[in-house]
Amino acid sequence: MKFTVLIVTYHPDWKKLLVTLDSVMAQTFKDYEIVVSDDGSEENCFDKIEAYFAAHQFANYTLIPHEKNQGTVKNLIDGLAKAKGKYVRDFGPGDAFYNEHTLQQVYDFMEENQYESCFGLMRGYCRREDGGVDYVEFPHPFDLSPYKNWNEDKIVKNLVLYRDNASGACTCYTVDYYMTYLKKIEGTVIYAEDIFQMMAGLDGRPMHFFPDYLVWYEADTGVSTKKKSGFSELLAQDVDRFYAMIQEQYSENPYVKKQKKVLGLYKIRNLYLRTLLRLFRNPDAIRYLISHMLQARKGAYRPSHQQKGFLDNPEFGKEKAE
């Protein structure tokens, strides 16, 4: 098996889940399995998922139920434990492959370069009440230049000092690599799974850049993107515990030492005051911010040859949902 598509769910919305499933089933690359791991939902939609696969004559899938909610990291680990693929791309309901060629392209990219991890560009979308679609650009990470020009030291610096990791929504890994780092943060991090990238960078195993759109990302309506959500506090607790672990395990790293000087500033709730004090403590952050703005102005977060994707058609994923 070459690829595992891992879908992690918790109280999934069936219409959103259909968008994800439709984008997978439409791939021209066919050597994949689908693993769905549900984190203790009262309604996990497994009956609908099975009916969907039967209608598509697709049998290469595994459904993993859980009696209790255990958090994203543990849910991912349980899903990966059942994975038969060499590589894995994980989704939440509503997110989708960019177009029908994406899985083939990212597989070729990983195989040809023998990479164990990568991230791609992402486009966000929002469904309006009238059924239309609004589009959002996501600059993740903010500073793409060290990945494009491969400056590993600068990548680690940005990860440690500026928390500038790629969104987990646009990543691809070998199953072994992903499992290794999820196991390292298990018990310390409950929900913010993509934070492990800092640890991987410190270990000399940072991610590589796939220079094309990899995913459509459902913006503003997902749990982790809602601006006013109790979930944001849980993520903040994950970050605090993770940084304490980094300070203990990588205490001799010069960037980790510098990080320690600014950690207390993150407890300041006022964003503007926090930013001002961070710049005072670490003037190099000015360079980092200016670099991001210049890259955005030059279109660094868009592929050089942009192809249309699934959600450029506002009707994608709607017909069956209705």
Q: pLDDT at position 168, please?
A: 96
Residue 224 clears pLDDT 60, i.e. is over it: no
Q: Is 209 helix (H, G, I), strand (E, B) or coil?
A: strand
Average the pLDDT over 291-307 and give the result: 90
* Mean pLDDT across 287-302: 91
Q: Please give the average per-residue pLDDT across 215-235, as a whole number.
A: 71
Tell me how far apart the alpha carbons of residues 219 and 124 are, in angstroms, rounded to a whole number. 5
* Domain ranges within the chain, ordered by starting residue: 3-262
Alpha-carbon distance of 117 to 109, in angstroms, equals: 10
pLDDT band at residue 263 using 50, 70 and 90 as cut-offs: confident
- Average pLDDT of the chain is 92
Is 137 a residue whose pLDDT tops 90? no
Per-residue model confidence (pLDDT) at position 77? 98
E-only strand ranges, the chain? 3-9, 32-38, 61-64, 87-91, 96-97, 117-127, 133-138, 171-174, 208-218
Tell me what pLDDT residue 129 has: 86
Q: Which CATH number fits domain 3-262: 3.40.50.1820, 1.10.10.10, 3.90.550.10, 3.40.50.300?
A: 3.90.550.10
The pLDDT assigned to 321 comes to 42
- pLDDT score, position 83: 98
**Looking at 103-107, 112-116, 134-138, 314-318, which range is the least confident one?**
314-318
Nearest to 127 by CA among 213, 214, 221, 226: 221
Which tens digit of pLDDT belongs to each residue from 174-193? 999 999 999 999 999 999 99
Identify the residue whose tokens are 């070998």. 174
If one compares 169 and 130, the residue with the highest pLDDT of the two is: 169
Q: Count other Cβ atoms within 10 Å, centred on residue 173.
A: 24
Q: Measured between alpha carbons, how far is 117 from 96 in angstroms, rounded to an integer? A: 19
Least confident range of 60-69, 103-112, 258-267? 258-267
pLDDT at 258 over 50: yes
Q: pLDDT band at residue 322, thresholds of 50, 70 and 90?
A: very low
- pLDDT classification of 220: cutoffs 50, 70, 90: low
Q: Are 89 and 118 in contact (CB under 8 A)?
A: no
Residue 284's pLDDT band (cuts 50, 70, 90): confident
> Do 207 and 167 form a contact (C-beta atoms < 8 A)?
no
Question: In this predicted structure, what is the pLDDT of residue 272?
Answer: 67
Asked if the model's pLDDT at residue 305 lies above 70, the reply is yes
Element (H, E) at 159: helix 152-162
pLDDT at 225 over 50: no
Q: Mind listing the pLDDT tens digit for each residue in 4-44? A: 999 999 999 999 999 999 999 999 999 999 999 999 999 99
Cα–Cα distance for residue pair 88/227, rounded to 1 Å: 29
- Range scoring the smallest mean pLDDT among 170-174, 228-232, 278-282, 303-307: 228-232
Query: Looking at residue 262, what is its pLDDT?
Result: 80
DSSP state of 170: G
Please state the rounded mean pLDDT for residues 64-73.
97
Q: What is the dihedral of CA 16, 128, 232, 22, to 10 degrees?
A: 20
